[in-house]
Amino acid sequence: MLTNLNRIAISRTDNIGDVVLALPVAGWIKKYYPNTEVIFIGRDYTRSIIESSIFVDQFVDRIELIKGKINLKLLNIDAIVFIFPDKELGFLAKKAGIPLRIGSFRKLHHLLNCTNWVNFTRRNSLLHESQLNFKLLKPLGVPTTVTKAEIPALYGMKKIIPLSDRLISLLDKEKFNLIIHPKSHGHGKEWPAYKYHELCRKLPSDKFNIIFTGTEKEKGFIEEHFNDLVQSTSNISNGAGLMNLNEFISFISMADGLLASGTGPLHVAAALGKLSVGFFPPMPPVYSQRWENLGERAFHFEKESCPQNYSCRKIKGCECVESIEVGLVAELLMRELAKG
């Protein structure tokens, strides 16, 4: 263990799922350095995710640092961990004189800008993405081997804003509130719309309240493929385009479960301790071994192997994901419903 680490920064400046899976690093630091303040540098886009964690003391917007609106030196950071390689931020960290700067040995710019390096590769690793993040903490003198079972307690997503009455009206406290988030921004292989459609027809309407969600851009897709369900069935609604990320986090926290491909909202639901059910292709590096949802009630579907030898790698669809049976998904949901 090191001394004089009053403020430690971690930097992960990419997408929602990546950031959710980086939150346990903050929880791990707090476990071994309980009196240290943790600063999380990220994109404004993921601010709501980061600020929801009880293990993060301060969010800092990367763009404001790059543009000079925030002076990195004035943050008095003692150590910075680059979970996501960042050439510009690495240069700023060196310029600011942060004493301990930790980055990947495999990035030339980190060799130039960091003081300590960790030599490992994500590409061919058999570890989960969240587990890999801990490898970068080695220079802090803390354990870097963390099991998947330890991850759920380290998210700390407990600072949730109250949900507005407008959005509460989409929920039914007498039923199991199931969010279906069918799109993935191209970040995952998607279960086809017709199978979600079939699943909605199969689940008992007196037991399930189903809400489709998505971004404003995805609203048209949901209307095109599921509007007939929304119009003809009282227990199905369309919530696409109605929420910002902060509201969506709160909405997931008040629902009972979520279905999605391996995308950000799936990891949010898992981190919140909700039933989360994901669909994954058996294709490295986007398979479940690397990206599965980790939570107290997390499940996923994935074929054991790909008969097409990953021929879908460069195309949108995926026969392996598309072949996941509706009946198996419905059975899982009914079993979880029975547990209460």
DSSP states along 23-45: HHHHHHHHHH-TTSEEEEEE-GG
d(CA 41, CA 58): 9
Contact (Cβ atoms closer than 8 angstroms) between residue 137 and residue 145:
no
User: Which pLDDT value is given to residue 312?
Assistant: 77
User: Which pLDDT value is given to residue 96?
Assistant: 98
The DSSP symbol for 76 reads -
User: Which pLDDT value is given to residue 121?
Assistant: 84
d(CA 336, CA 340): 7
User: Which pLDDT value is given to residue 314?
Assistant: 67
User: Which pLDDT value is given to residue 106?
Assistant: 82
User: Residue 303 — φ and ψ, nearest 5°?
Assistant: -65, 150
d(CA 8, CA 59): 12
Report residue 171 as tokens. Answer: 């929920």
Mean pLDDT (the chain) is 95
Share of residues in the chain with pLDDT > 90 (%):
88
Task: Report whether the peptide linkage leading into residue 285 is cis, meaning its omega lies within 30 degrees of zero.
Answer: yes
For residue 65, is pLDDT > 90? yes
Give the number of other Cβ atoms within 10 Å of residue 47's Cβ: 17
Share of residues in the chain with pLDDT > 70 (%):
99
For residue 143, is pLDDT > 70? yes
Q: What is the pLDDT of residues 229-260, one digit of tens each?
A: 999 999 999 999 999 999 999 999 999 999 99
Sorted by where each starts, the structural domains of the chain and their CATH numbers stand as 7-154 (3.40.50.2000), 172-339 (3.40.50.2000)
d(CA 340, CA 337): 5
Edge to edge, what strands does the sheet with 7-11 contain?
A: 58-61, 37-42, 7-11, 79-82, 100-104, 116-118
d(CA 252, CA 245): 10
Q: What is the pLDDT of residues 206-232, one digit of tens each?
A: 999 999 999 999 999 999 999 999 999
For residue 262, is pLDDT > 70? yes
Report residue 77 as tokens. Answer: 């950071």
For residue 95, is pLDDT > 90? yes
For residue 155, is pLDDT > 70? yes
d(CA 239, CA 303): 30
d(CA 88, CA 109): 9
